[in-house]
A and B are shown apart, each in its own frame.
Chain A
Amino acid sequence: MHFLAPSLLLGLLAAALPWLVHLIGKRRAQPVRFAAMQLLLRSEWRISARRRLREILLLVARTGVAAALPLIFARPFAERTTDLPVASLDPQSAVIVLDDSASMSRSAGLSTMFERARDRARALLRQFPSDVDLALLQASAGSSPKISELSPERARVLEALESSVCSARPADFASALRSASLILAGSTHAKRRIYLFTDLQAAGWEAGTGLPAEGAPEVIIDDVSGAARWENRAVLEVSVVPAPEVGTGGIAVDAEVADFSAAGTRALGMALKVDGVSVAKGFVDLAPGGRSHKRFLHRLTGETGGAHDVEVEIDGDAFRLDDQRLAHVELARSMSVLIVNGDPRSARNEDEPFFFAAALRNGLPGAVVTIKLPDDVSPESLDNTTLVALLNLAQPSPAMASALARFVSAGGGLFISVGDRVDATAWNERMAKLLPQPLGLPRTASALPGQHAGEIVDDRPAERLAPIDRSHPLLANFPERGEGLVSARFFKYMLLDPAVEGPDRSVILRYESGAPALVEKQVGKGRVMLLSTTVDREWTDLPIRTGFLPLVREAARRLVGVTGDEEAASLRAGEARTLVFTGDEQRLEVSRPDGSVWVARRDQASSTRSVLYSETDRLGTYHVRAVGPDGTVVARPELDFVVNLDTRESNPARLDPSQRPDRIAVASPGVKPPKHRVELWHGLAAVMIGLLLCESVLTLRRRRI
Chain B
Amino acid sequence: MSEGGKASGERPGLLDPTDLARLASLDLRARTIVEGAFSGMHRNLHPGTSVEFTEHREYAPGDEIRRIDWKAVGRADRYYVKRFEDETEMHTFLVLDASASMGYRRRGVSKLDYAGYLAGALAYLVGQQGDAAGLLLFDETARSFLPPSTRPGQIREVFRLLEAAQPAGRTDAALALGHLGELIDKRSLIIVMSDLLDSEPDEPSETGPLPGRLRQLRARGHDVALFHLLDPDEVELPFDDLIFFEGMEPGDARTLLAQAPDLAQAFKRESQAFRDRWRAACLEASVEYRFARTDTPPTEVLRAFLADRQRVVRL
Interface residues of A (CB under 8 A from B): 25-26, 28-44, 46-47, 51, 702-705
A38 near B245 with CB under 8 A, answer no
Which chain B residues numbered 251 to 287 have a C-beta less than 8 Å away from chain A? 252, 254, 256-259, 261-267, 269-271, 274
Q: Which residues of B contact A32 (CB under 8 A)?
A: 106, 239, 243-246
Given A30-B241, A30-B243, A39 and B271 contact (CB-CB distance below 8 Å): yes
Q: Which residues of A contact B69 (CB under 8 A)?
A: none
Q: Which residues of B contact A37 (CB under 8 A)?
A: 245-248, 252, 254, 256
6 additional A-B pairs beyond A35-B100, A38-B200, A40-B256, beta carbons within 8 Å, are A29-B241, A36-B101, A36-B234, A37-B247, A40-B245, A705-B263
B257 near A29 with CB under 8 A, answer yes
A44 near B258 with CB under 8 A, answer yes
B267 near A40 with CB under 8 A, answer yes
- Bound: A90/B249 CA distance, A: 85
Chain A residue, CB-CB nearest to B241:
A30
Which chain B residues numbered 205 to 245 have a C-beta less than 8 Å away from chain A? 230-231, 233-234, 237, 239, 241-245
Chain A residue, CB-CB nearest to B199:
A38
B242 near A30 with CB under 8 A, answer yes
- Bound: A702/B243 CA distance, A: 16
Interface residues of B (CB under 8 A from A): 100-102, 104, 106, 111, 195, 197-198, 200, 202, 204, 230-231, 233-234, 237, 239, 241-249, 252, 254, 256-259, 261-267, 269-271, 274
B247 near A39 with CB under 8 A, answer no
Q: Which residues of B contact A35 (CB under 8 A)?
A: 100-102, 104, 111, 195, 197, 231, 234, 248-249
- Bound: A26/B258 CA distance, A: 9
Q: Which residues of B contact A41 (CB under 8 A)?
A: 254, 256
10 chain-A/chain-B pairs, Cβ below 8 angstroms: A36-B197, A37-B248, A39-B274, A40-B256, A40-B258, A40-B263, A47-B266, A51-B262, A702-B262, A705-B266
A705 near B262 with CB under 8 A, answer yes
- Bound: A648/B254 CA distance, A: 87
- Bound: A26/B244 CA distance, A: 10
Shortest beta-carbon contacts, A-B, top 3: A35-B101, A43-B266, A35-B104
B262 near A47 with CB under 8 A, answer yes
- Bound: A704/B261 CA distance, A: 9
Given A32-B239, A38-B200, A702-B261, A46 and B252 contact (CB-CB distance below 8 Å): no
Q: Which residues of B contact A703 (CB under 8 A)?
A: 261, 264-265
Within 8 Å by CB of A26, from B202, B242, B270, lies: B242
With a 10 A CB-CB cut-off, give which of A25, A32, A41 has the most chain B CB atoms: A32
Closest beta carbon of chain B to A179's beta carbon, Å: 70
- Bound: A32/B263 CA distance, A: 15
- Bound: A42/B202 CA distance, A: 9
B244 near A36 with CB under 8 A, answer no
B234 near A39 with CB under 8 A, answer yes
- Bound: A703/B257 CA distance, A: 17
Q: Which residues of B contact A44 (CB under 8 A)?
A: 256, 258, 263, 266
Q: Which residues of A contact B265 (CB under 8 A)?
A: 703-705
Closest beta carbon of chain A to B28's beta carbon, Å: 28
Chain A residue, CB-CB nearest to B257:
A29
Closest beta carbon of chain B to A41's beta carbon, Å: 6
A34 near B274 with CB under 8 A, answer no
Chain A residue, CB-CB nearest to B247:
A37
Chain B residue, CB-CB nearest to A31:
B244
A39 near B270 with CB under 8 A, answer yes
Q: Which residues of A contact B246 (CB under 8 A)?
A: 31-34, 37
Chain A residue, CB-CB nearest to B104:
A35
Closest beta carbon of chain A to B21's beta carbon, Å: 19
- Bound: A34/B198 CA distance, A: 12
Closest beta carbon of chain A to B264's beta carbon, Å: 8
B247 near A34 with CB under 8 A, answer yes
- Bound: A26/B243 CA distance, A: 9
- Bound: A46/B195 CA distance, A: 23
Q: Which residues of B contact A43 (CB under 8 A)?
A: 263, 266-267, 269-270
Closest beta carbon of chain B to A29's beta carbon, Å: 4
Chain B residue, CB-CB nearest to A47:
B266
- Bound: A31/B111 CA distance, A: 20
Q: Which residues of B contact A31 (CB under 8 A)?
A: 243-244, 246
Q: Which residues of B contact A30 (CB under 8 A)?
A: 241-244
Closest beta carbon of chain B to A701's beta carbon, Å: 10
Q: Which residues of A contact B101 (CB under 8 A)?
A: 35-36
Given A35-B101, A37-B254, A42 and B204 contact (CB-CB distance below 8 Å): yes
- Bound: A463/B242 CA distance, A: 118
Q: Which residues of B contact A29 (CB under 8 A)?
A: 241-244, 257
Closest beta carbon of chain B to A52's beta carbon, Å: 10
A25 near B254 with CB under 8 A, answer no
Closest beta carbon of chain A to B256's beta carbon, Å: 6
Closest beta carbon of chain B to A122's beta carbon, Å: 50
A25 near B242 with CB under 8 A, answer yes
Chain B residue, CB-CB nearest to A703:
B261
Q: Which residues of A contact B230 (CB under 8 A)?
A: 36
Q: Which residues of A contact B244 (CB under 8 A)?
A: 29-32
- Bound: A44/B266 CA distance, A: 8
- Bound: A28/B230 CA distance, A: 28
Q: Which residues of B contact A704 (CB under 8 A)?
A: 265
With a 10 A CB-CB cut-off, give which of A25, A35, A702 has the most chain B CB atoms: A35
A33 near B262 with CB under 8 A, answer no
Chain B residue, CB-CB nearest to A27:
B242
Closest beta carbon of chain A to B56's beta carbon, Å: 48
Given A25-B242, A39-B270, A40-B256, A34 and B262 contact (CB-CB distance below 8 Å): no
Q: Which residues of A contact B241 (CB under 8 A)?
A: 29-30
Q: Which residues of A contact B247 (CB under 8 A)?
A: 33-34, 37
Closest beta carbon of chain B to A657's beta carbon, Å: 73
A34 near B266 with CB under 8 A, answer no
Q: Which residues of B contact A33 (CB under 8 A)?
A: 104, 245-248
- Bound: A35/B242 CA distance, A: 17
- Bound: A30/B101 CA distance, A: 19
Q: Which residues of A contact B261 (CB under 8 A)?
A: 702-703
With a 10 A CB-CB cut-off, give which of A30, A39, A41, A46 has the most chain B CB atoms: A39
- Bound: A704/B266 CA distance, A: 8
Q: Which residues of A contact B197 (CB under 8 A)?
A: 35-36, 38-39
Closest beta carbon of chain B to A27's beta carbon, Å: 9
Within 8 Å by CB of A46, from B234, B243, B266, lies: B266
Closest beta carbon of chain A to B17's beta carbon, Å: 17
Q: Which residues of A contact B195 (CB under 8 A)?
A: 35
Within 8 Å by CB of B242, from A28, A40, A46, lies: A28
Closest beta carbon of chain B to A57's beta carbon, Å: 14
Closest beta carbon of chain A to B160's beta carbon, Å: 26
With a 10 A CB-CB cut-off, give which of B100, B258, B262 has the most chain A CB atoms: B262
Closest beta carbon of chain B to A273's beta carbon, Å: 64
Q: Which residues of A contact B257 (CB under 8 A)?
A: 26, 29
- Bound: A702/B263 CA distance, A: 9
- Bound: A34/B256 CA distance, A: 10
- Bound: A47/B242 CA distance, A: 16
- Bound: A38/B170 CA distance, A: 14
Q: Which residues of B contact A38 (CB under 8 A)?
A: 197-198, 200, 202
Within 8 Å by CB of A34, from B102, B200, B248, B270, lies: B248
With a 10 A CB-CB cut-off, give which of B200, B230, B258, B271 has the most chain A CB atoms: B258
- Bound: A38/B277 CA distance, A: 14
- Bound: A691/B192 CA distance, A: 55
With a 10 A CB-CB cut-off, give which of A28, A37, A47, A705 has the most chain B CB atoms: A37
Chain A residue, CB-CB nearest to B252:
A37
- Bound: A41/B248 CA distance, A: 14
Closest beta carbon of chain B to A39's beta carbon, Å: 5
Chain A residue, CB-CB nearest to B267:
A43
- Bound: A51/B104 CA distance, A: 28
Q: Which residues of B contact A51 (CB under 8 A)?
A: 262
- Bound: A39/B259 CA distance, A: 15
Closest beta carbon of chain A to B4's beta carbon, Å: 25
Q: Which residues of A contact B262 (CB under 8 A)?
A: 47, 51, 702, 705
